[in-house]
Amino acid sequence: MKSIAQLFLVAALAASPLLAAANTSAPEAPAKAAKPDLAKGEASFGAVCAACHAADGNSGTPANPKLAQQHPEYLVKQLQEYKSGKRANAIMSGMAAALSEDDMRNIAYWLTTKPAKPGFAKDKETVALGERIYRGGISDRQVPACAGCHSPNGAGIPSQYPRLSGQHADYAAAQLTAFRDGVRKNNNAMSQVAAKLNDREIKALADYVAGLR
């Protein structure tokens, strides 16, 4: 008859392969992203971005986008894609190349705390056309309503679709044209939508978006 010590030894040997298997198959917990440092974000933005986008992210230059109050996930994605080359822009690619992932997150989360200044639609001749497309799309060309993704007031949907409200019409028109012409390639859905728009419709949409609030 086996002693108690022998029984314990047999049980331990039998259990060891199971323990080893459990240890090797247990998934590692994903690394938790550090909380954004808003002070560092403000400093980085002031050093790298403010010259083109203004100190508070409300660019006064129509060709440069307003970034204030934009969804941080969207901003991080754009900076990552400038850095990787997925979104082409010689100036922004150079700027993003010097930023780490933490820098991008710090800047993006700081910008979302800055209130966006409202814009204004300027072309009375086309603003009604822009409103129709934004709110109702163009059914005979299968162009969806912009409001479906970017919300009726242009606030967008956090982590999914960017804020458009108050954006410079010149910048918005340039991006729609770039999507349509295959110059900007980092969003397939937008490329498909913009491909169905003509110059007049793009201009009308961009002007209407500028006045959304």
pLDDT single digits (tens) 134-161: 999 999 999 999 999 999 999 999 999 9
**Confidence bin at 16 (pLDDT 50/70/90):** very low
pLDDT at 96 over 50: yes
- Residue 113 confidence (pLDDT): 98
Distance CA 125, CA 127 (A): 6
**Confidence bin at 34 (pLDDT 50/70/90):** confident
pLDDT at 33 over 50: yes
State mean pLDDT over 165-178. 98
- Residue 22 confidence (pLDDT): 40
Over the chain, what is the mean pLDDT? 89
pLDDT at 32 over 70: no
DSSP string, 130-161: HHHHHHH-BGGGTBPPTHHHH-TTS--BTTTB
Report the Cα 44 to chain-centroid distance in Å. 19
| φ and ψ of 138, to 5 deg | -130, 100
Residue 28 carries which side chain, given as an amino acid letter? Answer: E
Poorest-confidence range of 25-29, 144-148, 187-191, 207-211?
A: 25-29
Distance CA 111, CA 45 (A): 9
pTM recorded for the entire structure: 0.83
State mean pLDDT over 83-110. 97
Distance CA 116, CA 16 (A): 61
Q: Both tokens of residue 31?
A: 């690394």
Residue from 144, 148, 150 nearest 193 by CA? 144
Distance CA 201, CA 122 (A): 15
pLDDT at 63 over 50: yes
- All structural domains of the chain: 38-111 (1.10.760.10), 127-210 (1.10.760.10)
pLDDT-above-70 percentage for the chain: 85
Residue 118 carries which side chain, given as an amino acid letter? Answer: P
123 vs 191: which has the higher pLDDT: 191
